[in-house]
Amino acid sequence: MKVLFYKYSSKYTFLVVFLISLFTSFLLFAQQKPNSANRGRGLLLDAEEQASKQIPLKSQQTEESYRGLPSAVSLKQYCPTPGDQGSYGTCVGWTTAYAARTILEARQLDLRSQIEIDKLIFSPGFIYKLVKEEEDQNCTYGAIMTDALKKMQVHGVAKRSSFPEQCVDYVPERTYKEAEDYKLKDYVRLWNVGFTQEERILALKKSLTEGNPVVVGMEAPSSIYNAKEFWRPTELPNQGWGGHAICVIGFDDKKGEKGSFEIMNSWGTGWANGGFTWIEYDDFTNFVRFAYELVPFYKPKKERPLLAGSLRFELANGNKIDLKKNGIATYKTPQPFSGGTNFRLYLSNFEPAYVYAFATDKTKNVQVVFPHKSYISPYLPYHNGEIAFPDEKHYLTMDNVAGTDKFCVIYSRYPLDINQIYQQLGQRKGTLKEGLEQVLGNKLVNTNEVAYSQNEVKFSTSSLKGTVAFFVVELEHK
């Protein structure tokens, strides 16, 4: 160091200069390396990429569904005080359990007090223990979010108050029992390869607007350690940066140049803006590679139905196909349509539900309408959602075989073995409605307890006796 060559008059002068120089060097080093050594990450990006392909993709909503989104949403009032994972590679546990699961619980209980929210924090160590590799004794190897979400769905997650440890090899049996009370109902992947930047942003906004936090996996270059109110990366994406999991808690279209997402991290309140930071939409979509929406078990509210939805048919010229109620749970067109007619289906849900749609004719063969691809989730986790089939750019075409095509939509509060149901319907005797009643059995809400609209295909039910409702639409063509 330069001080070693300083001409000093006494040993005391040398000591003072040496200490000043040492302190200055320390400050310079600290500015260059802002505590990054003590801030662990832990998302295995390559493994996450492979695993994410197996997670059901949330169906894209219609443009009309997105058009009503607010300009800003925040779940920050439900967030726990940001915790610190230290140098452990446990970000997956912190993001899924500590952050997202706690937010869901606080929102379900409508807690706004920071003290009360911090009492119900869920354990990041519990989830990491369930997903870590056996040889990961020091909890530094990292993990993937899809594993954590699956464990939370199957096993639940324990409270941090009963399992505060972050890195252990043993979980008491009583802790597993407690965790069972806090399972996830479901989780869905928000985007697929090929989604545009706008499609990714809209999908995430829709989830947050419905009150569901989103956990994301991102590339985390070194500039993220210096984040303040905003993280504005100085690096390029896709340069082999390490992976990190964070929780998205809000968005604001007026924050930053073009709008931003707010995220909660797991590096304590000393990082960025009290443990939170904003990331502009462009930077977010450049560095974030995976996004999953967590879906809780909704607690029924007396003023809202348990199942509700609708279906409309629209011709290529934009006109609606008129449909009238024609018996219980059945609708029919007042006049037949010619073969070659192009039309589109718009399927809506007004409460979260697993939705299955199919078509059949006199052959009794079942043609799947929704979900029309195996990787798309049947779960529509919204209180006001709409999807188009086949999509908003294409149409279905009626064939030239005269007769009656029947469309059916099934709404369920829980997932169904739909392939088995389709197989049984293909072997039915009697009408489609009778076949559905036989196959669905005691899962079915009594049709007397379902309110079916008269002049549009629409229903709602608040009945607790059963978990499934349906309607059938008969479309005649000549």
Instruction: Quickly state the pLDDT bin for 14 (edges 50, 70, 90).
Output: very low
186 against 362, higher pLDDT? 186
At 2 the pLDDT is 33
Region 28-41 average pLDDT: 53
What three-state secondary structure class fits 20?
helix
Q: How confident is the model at residue 23, as a pLDDT?
A: 40
Cβ within 8 Å of residue 211, ≥6 positions away: 75, 107
Say what the pLDDT of residue 57 is. 96
- Give the pLDDT confidence of 71-121 residue by residue, as tens digits: 999 999 999 999 999 999 999 999 999 999 999 999 999 999 999 999 999
293, 212 in Cβ contact below 8 A?
Answer: yes
Looking up tokens 């590799």 gives: 133
What would the two tokens of residue 302 be?
Answer: 């007396």
Cα–Cα distance, 130 to 143 (Å, whole number): 10
Which two three-digit tokens encode residue 204? 């995430």
DSSP 4: G
pTM score, whole prediction: 0.88
Angle between helices 418-426 and 432-440 in degrees, nearest 10: 130
Dihedral-angle region of residue 158 (phi above 0 means left; psi in -120 to 50 means alpha; beta otherwise): beta
Task: For residue 332, give every residue at least 6 positions away whose Cβ sits within 8 Å of its Cβ, in sequence order, or none.
Answer: 323, 324, 326, 473, 474, 476
Contact 398, 343 (CB under 8 A): yes
Q: What CATH number does the domain located at 45-296 have?
A: 3.90.70.10
In this structure, what are the phi and psi dihedrals at residue 49, rounded to the nearest 5 degrees? Answer: -60, -40
> Ramachandran region of residue 321, left (φ > 0), alpha (ψ -120 to 50) or beta?
beta
Q: Burial letters for 186-205: b for 16+ Cβ neighbours within 10 Å, e otherwise?
A: bbbbbbbeebeeebbbbbbb
SS3 labels along 330-392 = EEECCCCECCCCEEEEEEEECCCEEEEEEEECCCCCEEEEECCCCCECCEECCCCEEEEECEC
The rounded percent of the chain whose pLDDT value lies above 70 is 91
CA 246 to chain centre: 13
In this structure, are residues 432 and 384 in contact, taking their beta carbons and an 8 Å threshold? no
Nearest to 268 by CA among 40, 74, 73, 33: 40
**Domain boundaries of the chain, sorted by first residue:** 45-296, 307-477
Of the pLDDT bands very low, low, confident and very high (cuts 50, 70, 90), residue 400 is confident
Q: Which residues pair with 367 in a beta bridge?
A: 359
Mean of pLDDT values over 54-62: 94
Asked if the bond preceding 371 is cis, omega within 30° of 0, the reply is: yes
Please state whether beta strands 468-477 and 342-349 pair in parallel, antiparallel, or not at all (unpaired): unpaired
Q: Is 28 exposed, middle or buried (0-12, 13-18, 19+ CB in 10 A)?
A: exposed
Which DSSP helix (H) or strand (E) runs through 329? none
pLDDT at position 28:
31
370/373 Cα distance (integer angstroms): 8
Tokens of 252: 């604001």
The predicted model gives 454-472 an average pLDDT of 94
Both tokens assigned to 439 = 């196959």
Q: How many angstroms separate the CA atoms of 77 and 291, rounded?
A: 22
Cis peptide before 172 (omega within 30 of 0): no
**Average pLDDT of 312-333?**
93
